[in-house]
Every structure is written in structure tokens, then in C-alpha cells.
Amino acid sequence: MKMEDIAKIAGVSKSAVSLAFSGKPGISLETRERILQIAQESGYLPKGKSPTLDHTAKSLTFLVIANSGIVLEQYYQQPFFRELIHFIEERCRAKGYSLLFSSIDMEFFDRDIRMVAEEKKSNGVVLLGTNLDREQIADIAGKIQPLVVLDTCFDTLPIHFVEINNFMGAYQAGNHLCKIGHNDIGYIESNVRIHNFEERKRGFTAAIHEHGREIPDTHRFSVAPTILSSQDSLKAQLEAFLKKGNRLPTAVFCECDYIAISAMKTLQELGYRVPDDVSVIGFDNITEAVIVSPELTTVHVEKQRMAYLAVDLLIESIELEQSAGTKIRVDTHFIERQSSRVK
């Protein structure tokens, strides 16, 4: 039997079979399991090896629960997560561990988490917590250990967390805008709410309040957080705002770089110049921040440090059997580029 035959029986592409054997992301857990089961039943040995995992090797699993809001099914193509994965893999190699990938659909949350827990294919799990709430993480932690949750935090859970200092980053952005003379400030938020965005809203609001500024309700806009192109919904909101006789804010803070880049393109389509008419600030410092024109002023997230800390904390839990939960918050720093200017 050949790889093409496995693909035909499973009803998938040859590349999907390759991903299943390599343990790389790109297919769902259900698809991966189906492919491996077919291969095993057929006696297929890829490159002289069994498609089942070598349980004597040291490995960690990067577990993602995908949905249609923040963490997409093709999450490994999203700039922020792509960078995190790169650094996680890098740290695993340095520590003598391989990295496996497991992605499940939020729709099958209970079933697939149970499946991951029962199979226990690696020594420990780094869970991407970006889009998960407290109850979901508590449920996972009750079934899977050792576990480190990356990119969110819930202080009342006795679990290892490594997160961004979201409050600090947004505070830095708000402080910057006020210091360069902006009084009329707008806020573009995600229409999908998660812990990180709520903390950024708190931090930005705290900064401008310290400078005696407020954001009127009319200056708050809401858009999808995973679109890099211009958005019709934002264009409609801005046009409705302008038709009421309002003037655009001189600066806007966006809850992530995706939103900031989308906002810049939308503003340009409406005939506004960034930063001459409107300064735009983002959050995350994804690689695309220096590709767009003008280059994006943003909050830099130490993705490498977060990834390294998560891997180190998990390996410590495995090798030293440390059970007490640890909360780590990684500070940010502000990067001023060409999308903002003095008012």
C-alpha cells in the first residue's frame, strides 16, 4: 500500500496523510486519528517506521482548540501564532524534546479533549489559551496534566499560565498618544471578546484617564479581529459617524495589529491619510507591521520569551514533578513607527 492509497481510503489529500505521519499542524485531530488508524490496520510503514508515536522519546504537545473567532482552523498561518509556534519548537529542540501538534474543533470540545487525555501521546501539553474561558481551561486541566496554558490567565485556577502584560502594553499606547498631543482619541475593538482584549481596554482607558481624556461612546468602533484587508463593516460605521457631522478622531488605538492594519486600509479607501489625518496604533508587533505602508506603530509582545518560559515551565513540571501553579506575565515595550505622529 502507498501513501496515495491511504489518502484515498481516508478521503483526504496526500499532503494530509503526510501531516498526520509527521505530527505537524494543518489537520484536525479526528482526521489525524483516522489516517493513522487506516495506516496501522493496513500495515503501512512510512519511511520504515510505524505511524504510531515512539513513546520512549521525550515530546510535548501543542494543543489548540480552534473556532471561527480568534484562533482559526488554519491557526498556524496566523502571524502571531506562527511566531509563537516557531519559538516553541526552537525551545523544545534545545531541551531535547520533540513537539507534536493537536488541533481540535470547538464544536467537538468535550469528545476531543477526552480523546487527547486518554491517548496521552506526549509527556506534557502546552495549551494555547487565547480563545478559551475559565471553565474550558479548568475542564481541560482536570483531564490533562502536566499542562501549561499560554496567552491568557485566570488567577483563581491552580494552573501554570504564561501571558502577555496586556494592561501594560495598552497603557503604553495610551500614554504615548496623550504625550504627543492627541485629545480626540478613538478606540477600535474586536467584536469577539477575550481576556487579552479586556485587559488591553482597561490599560488604555487607565492611561488616557490619567491625562484627563475620555473616549466618547461615539468614538468606539467594533470589527472582526482576524482580517488584514479593509472591512466593509468598519467603513459603514465610519461613514455613519461622519454623516452625523462628526469629525474623525485624530488618533485610534486598535486592540491588535490585525485590526490596526485593517483600519489603515479602510481609512485610506475613505480618502484619509495615515498618519496625517489619523494616527493608528496596534498591538502585538506581528511581522506584517513593518510590511504595510506606513509601518505600524505598535506594542511589541515578547513572543520568544513567552514561548521559552512556557516550555521551560512545562519541562520543570515533568522532570521535577512540580505541582504548584505558577502565573507569569511578560512585559511589553512600545515601538513608534510611521503610522502615528505628533498632533
Domain CATH code at residue 40 = 3.40.50.2300
Looking at the fold, whether 208 and 275 belong to one and the same domain comes out as: yes
Would you state the cell numbers that stand for residue 259, as one nine-digit string? 485590526
Pairing of strands 124-128, 279-281: unpaired
Looking at the fold, whether 204 and 274 belong to one and the same domain comes out as: yes
Give, for 188, the enclosing helix (H) or strand (E).
strand 185-190
Q: Give me the domain span that covers residue 194.
A: 166-300
Looking at the fold, whether 121 and 270 belong to one and the same domain comes out as: no
Contact call for residues 230 and 265 (beta carbons, < 8 A): yes
Looking at the fold, whether 206 and 240 belong to one and the same domain comes out as: yes
Report d(CA 51, CA 308) in Å as an integer. Answer: 29
Looking at the fold, whether 233 and 319 belong to one and the same domain comes out as: no
Report d(CA 290, CA 338) in Å as an integer. Answer: 10
Structural domain count of the chain: 2
Cα dihedral: 93, 96, 98, 99 (round 10): -60
Looking at the fold, whether 156 and 173 belong to one and the same domain comes out as: no
Which residue, chain included where needed, has cell 495549551?
127
Judge whether 337 lies within some domain: no
What is the model's pTM?
Answer: 0.84
3-state secondary structure of 33: helix
Give, for 298, the enclosing helix (H) or strand (E).
strand 298-300
Question: Taking the alpha carbons of 334, 338, 340, 341 in that order, is the dihedral positive or negative?
Answer: positive
Per-residue pLDDT of the chain (343 residues; tens, 9 = 90+): 678 878 877 878 887 888 887 777 777 767 877 788 787 666 666 654 444 444 457 999 999 999 878 998 888 889 999 999 999 999 999 999 999 998 888 989 999 999 999 888 899 999 999 999 999 999 999 999 999 999 999 999 999 999 999 999 999 999 999 999 999 999 999 999 999 999 999 999 999 999 999 999 999 999 999 999 999 999 999 999 999 999 999 999 999 999 999 999 999 999 999 999 999 999 999 999 999 999 999 999 999 999 999 999 999 999 987 778 999 999 999 999 999 999 8
Looking at the fold, whether 175 and 272 belong to one and the same domain comes out as: yes
Q: What is the largest CA-CA distance in the chain?
A: 72
Judge whether 343 lies within some domain: no
- HSE of 271, CA atoms in CB hemisphere, 13 A: 2
Looking at the fold, whether 244 and 110 belong to one and the same domain comes out as: no
Other C-beta atoms within 10 Å of 105: how many? 16
Would you state the cell numbers that stand for residue 18, as one nine-digit string? 503526510
